[in-house]
């Protein structure tokens, strides 16, 4: 398979999805496993939802001496457990999830460059540039959230223009602020392409769900590879950041 640098693919909607399809054919099993692992890590936070209704624990030996019917005690217990779980979920989302999500992006980028993805990338962020990954994710999320709170449309614009932050942090080890600035520069002129890719990606996921849910895995591979392909093609075309050997 030709890499994007060899084929000189222009950064476009068709080329991104087309190249991603070829990448999926060659590295399907590896990328399939990546999608599963990352999906488990960044999946719905339902994992942290516990049923703390005292009536469900009547048979627990440690709670037989407690008056669970006392309204104040039940309210305090509920609030305490909810607060602990909320703090744990927040810490997990901010400190653990970004490392795996950014690592997954880097593995897809390796596949786009016709290099066999290295699974060490999934946890490499814990050893290298961990603070940069966490801060970049926090900064990007905050900017997008502020954009949506403002007038909604600015949030969409910011999300499109910061689509390359994760790749730049992992690929070039850039500082979070520099990565945001560089992503803004790189996506200039490609905002509509990213926007339409996001819209089409949504329908690809829907189509995958309709295929007995199993189709969501190749859908995720295709979509993730498409955005990685777009990043690489923009990187090569604009030479915004010198391509490393």
Q: What percent of the chain has pLDDT over 70?
A: 81
Residue 45: pLDDT above 60?
A: no
So what's the pLDDT on residue 10?
84
Banded model confidence at residue 34, pLDDT cuts 50, 70, 90: very high
Nearest Cα to Cα of residue 165 among 195, 134, 127, 189: 134
Mean pLDDT, range 197-219, rounded to an integer: 93
Banded model confidence at residue 58, pLDDT cuts 50, 70, 90: very low
Residue 53: pLDDT above 70?
A: no
Average pLDDT for the chain: 85
More confident residue, 239 or 79: 79
**Quick one: how far is CA 208 from the chain centroid?**
18
Contact (Cβ atoms closer than 8 angstroms) between residue 98 and residue 141: no
Contact (Cβ atoms closer than 8 angstroms) between residue 228 and residue 3: no
Q: Where are the domains of the chain?
A: 4-238
User: CA of 25: how far to CAs of 38, 209, 239, in Å?
Assistant: 20, 20, 28
Rounded Cα gap, residues 187 and 235, in angstroms: 10
**Quick one: how far is CA 109 from the chain centroid?**
13
Specify the residue for token string 């305090």: 76
Contact (Cβ atoms closer than 8 angstroms) between residue 85 and residue 50: yes
**Quick one: how far is CA 127 from the chain centroid?**
19
**Quick one: how far is CA 24 from the chain centroid?**
18
So what's the pLDDT on residue 57?
46
E strand map for the chain: none
Taking each helix axis as running N to C, give the angle between helix 216-238 and helix 97-112, from 0 to 180 degrees, rounded to the nearest 10: 70
Banded model confidence at residue 8, pLDDT cuts 50, 70, 90: low
For the chain, the distance separating the N- and C-terminal CA atoms, rounded to the nearest angstrom, is 18
So what's the pLDDT on residue 49?
44
Provide the H-helix boundaries in 129-215.
130-151, 153-161, 165-171, 176-186, 191-210
Q: Taking the CA of residue 137 as centre, how many other CA atoms within 13 Å lie in the half-sphere pointing to its CB?
A: 19
User: CA of 221: how far to CAs of 78, 81, 92, 155, 218, in Å?
Assistant: 40, 37, 24, 25, 5
Tell me which of 29-33, 72-76, 91-95 is least confident: 72-76
Banded model confidence at residue 239, pLDDT cuts 50, 70, 90: low
Mean pLDDT, range 213-236, rounded to an integer: 95
Tokens of 47: 């994992």
Residue 101: pLDDT above 70?
A: yes
């Amino acid at each position: 398979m030709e890499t994007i640098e060899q084929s000189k693919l222009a950064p476009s909607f068709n080329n991104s999805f087309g190249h991603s399809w070829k990448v999926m054919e060659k590295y399907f099993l590896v990328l399939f496993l990546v999608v599963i692992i990352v999906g488990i890590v960044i999946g719905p936070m339902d994992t942290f939802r516990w049923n703390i209704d005292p009536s469900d624990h009547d048979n627990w030996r440690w709670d037989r001496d407690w008056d669970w019917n006392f309204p104040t005690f039940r309210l305090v217990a509920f609030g305490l457990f909810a607060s602990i779980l909320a703090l744990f979920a927040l810490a997990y989302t901010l400190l653990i999830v970004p490392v795996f999500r950014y690592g997954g992006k880097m593995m897809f980028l390796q596949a786009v460059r016709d290099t066999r993805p290295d699974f060490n990338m999934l946890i490499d962020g814990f050893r290298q540039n961990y603070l940069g990954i966490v801060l970049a994710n926090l900064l990007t999320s905050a900017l997008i959230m502020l954009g949506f709170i403002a007038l909604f449309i600015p949030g969409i614009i910011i999300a499109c223009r910061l689509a390359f932050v994760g790749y730049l942090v992992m690929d070039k080890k850039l500082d979070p602020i520099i990565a945001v600035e560089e992503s803004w520069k790189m996506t200039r002129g490609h905002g509509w392409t990213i926007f339409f890719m996001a819209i089409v990606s949504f329908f690809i996921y829907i189509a995958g769900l309709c295929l007995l849910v199993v189709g969501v895995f190749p859908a995720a591979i295709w979509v993730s590879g498409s955005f990685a392909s777009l990043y690489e093609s923009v990187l090569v075309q604009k030479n915004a950041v010198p391509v490393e050997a």
